[in-house]
Chain A
């Protein structure tokens, strides 16, 4: 097992190098560069930038060098100094920008995950055990409804209700007073106070599909002979459900961890923009639009790293949970 993990970790290094190169190339692919975009922005507000200034900007940012050199410099700085470069647009080190937002993204994603699984898994089990009952039909109807509603629309509706009916301040994850404040107990309370709207919105669509998956998994397992064996042993219906079919029906969910982690960064962008959440998604979008290449590159690299780590974690967990995989 330990050898398996070690060899997987070693293999991650070449994959990361390849991935980082690809992400760098990808970002360079659109025509023009940050300076072009910058000049275009200035031109929109009737400021004219002459060619010299543009060339000067390019050489200052190192944009006049060949791409491979830029890439080597960028990667070298990351490896040696943990320096992801400077964001052109924000004029701040990329790492400062990212970590601040990643922490909040993490909080939001995990709250959503807990809410989604906490609601969806029991309902999915219920819906499978009581197949074709009124309850099952109701749950199925609601989950299809949840799947069908676009989450930005739900975000707008919820914001309206929260603002008009409850008089709550909506948008963002903090009240104005706490945005710049250092972390304290009250700031956490304030965060929780704001968190429920995005969590509900993100959970609704996730829950809907998860209920369907769990129901299908569970139906597959419920007809297996080992369930009958457990019943013939005299176990109560609830205990045997939890111990045998549910345990096996959960296995496929462990594999989904692999793409949960990258979703931290790139998921739920639209909702985050609608609610103006200070999470990673909107920043990523903005950096791509303005060709802020080091910031975008760092994000793409982060997404890829998280994918690799996520699949490693899910493989390890699967091996822990399912002895058939462990002993192969």
Chain B
């Protein structure tokens, strides 16, 4: 495999160019809107070659998804292809320009699913919930290959076996909601492979999945690509994934191609400024933040501000409870950032919510040391105490859109905790709000606007301003940067660390992203199925993990360096 990869990857030498499957030239797709047009794709050109993987990378709104959909002419209304050509080269030597075909015509439909297949981001909603898996796969077979029902069924079982779905002859008759996220994406892949397409378009196929599941899906796509010799066009925003799987990379920004070249060039010798910035912000998150490097060593003698002992949080029936948090013990020291890392369902969010007693824990203690040295057990605190404690422990949420009331101005949102707790009102409140906005890097004059007038990063800043409004001592940040593009992520983390130094905050930083944890956190706790499997200094846990699960988790994370592809060396944890 390595020999093959080294020859094919040196495409600029002209040594081994694979046959071109799709040649896109000056593709332009417009979305007419009320006041003009949005040029979602603006003069994009590239080649997709047989047996190779082209990654299209860019931040949200870069037009990467629309580019992919333009190829099959399935751009959502009112978008339409304005100009350009997309020449599909068939194995028999004939060519067809997809851009010239009628989007509802017979010819383009014969290409869709048969010659160019596509898989999507959200495997749950991308499959019909009321049709069996087999029904949806067989449909493609019967449509394009004219198979009989029995033949299609046999082929369908075979396809499910190829994508490693257990008991494929039973799985055929099951529904999508009976499968896990990773299994659903396997079904999608089986469906796309049904007619042996010469090209596969994958639109963020692993974004909704955990890293370990992602690694398996990427493995599967690569293996199938080698078996079938497909060309793969892979759309993603994750530079780690790009480094792991790409042969060639297109970097897109605002509908335009910023840079197009072999993966090694993009990562190690980027020419374009935007690419440099993008790679820079990814690499920045691979190491400890500069702000933290400058800090004096922390005084470990101080007693912890939060001490969690044997915390239990169960859901479901008392007889057979789901232990979302199972015997968790943690300490958070003053001025420290404790990272909580884990995959979905590990209980990290539930744990974070228990700290503010959003849920009533079933057992254990959460000792909170107040500024005057008094220790309060949050689990048993009465209403009045809890109210006071909740002023001092605040929360920042993942979704910057959903966590801000769209009918309140920014001034109302940020000022609400002050008003509710009777701390400030009138002119004083207004001044406090202006000051808070300044602290998080927002223009105070914007405070009369509504949240929809702000970008995702700005909205998260509003969330932070609201969290620090009451001068808290501890902030629980639940995936606070996950919804943000990578270039904004480090800015947001830097802001949080500056506030930490200025206000003496402690953070409990919940994330699934090891990069962010490494950048931001002093210590980290790894959660798996409700339990903390490992706790330690960030460097130690990230570089020399002791627990087998941590090792498996870290080995599944794609690193943003195409010269150090490690994912195929990963190991699995069967706990």
Contact = CB atoms under 8 A, between A and B. Distances in A.
B114 A234 contact: yes
Interface in B125-143: 125-132, 139-140, 143
Interface of A: 223-226, 228-237, 243-244, 247-248, 321-324, 327
B130 A322 contact: yes
A323 to B, nearest CB: 5
Interface stretch (B103-111, B373-381, B431-439): B103-111
Given A323-B130, A324-B175, A232 B109 contact: no
A246 to B, nearest CB: 11
Contacts of A327: 175, 177-178
Contact of A232 (B112, B130, B144, B178): B112
Given A228-B76, A323-B132, 5 more contacts: A226-B129, A229-B118, A229-B126, A236-B104, A248-B130
17 contacts: A225-B120, A225-B122, A225-B125, A225-B126, A228-B74, A229-B120, A229-B126, A232-B112, A234-B114, A236-B104, A236-B109, A237-B104, A244-B131, A248-B128, A322-B130, A323-B132, A324-B129
A234 B128 contact: no
Given A228-B126, A324-B129, A235 B143 contact: yes
B143 A228 contact: no
Contacts of B177: 324, 327
B463 interface: no
B72 interface: yes
Contact of B125 (A224, A230, A321): A224
Interface in B118-174: 118, 120, 122, 125-132, 139-140, 143-144
B294 to A, nearest CB: 46
A226 B128 contact: yes
A233 B139 contact: yes
B27 interface: no
A244 B128 contact: yes
Contacts of B111: 234
A318 to B, nearest CB: 11
Interface of A (DSSP majority class):
helix
Contact of B120 (A228, A322, A323, A324): A228
B266 interface: no
A234 B130 contact: no
* Listed residue (B111, B120, B188) with the most chain A CB atoms within 10 angstroms of its CB: B120
A67 B128 CA distance: 56
For the complex of A and B, the 7 pairs showing the least CB-CB separation, nearest first, are A234-B112, A234-B113, A233-B113, A232-B118, A225-B126, A234-B109, A225-B125
Contact of B191 (A231, A233, A324): A233
B130 A247 contact: yes
A235 to B, nearest CB: 7
Interface in B329-351: none
A234 B140 contact: yes
* Listed residue (B127, B131, B144, B177) with the most chain A CB atoms within 10 angstroms of its CB: B131
Contacts of A228: 69, 74, 76, 120, 126
A231 B140 contact: no
Contacts of B113: 232-234
A230 B127 CA distance: 8
Nearest to A237: B104
Contact of B130 (A231, A236, A324): A324
B117 interface: yes
A324 B177 CA distance: 8
Nearest to A326: B175
B126 A231 contact: no
Contacts of B139: 233, 235, 243
Given A225-B122, A226-B128, A234 B178 contact: no
A50 to B, nearest CB: 71
A232 B127 contact: no
Contacts of B132: 323
Contacts of A230: 128
Interface in B71-92: 72, 74, 76
Contacts of B114: 234
A237 B127 CA distance: 17
Contact of B127 (A226, A231, A236, A321): A226
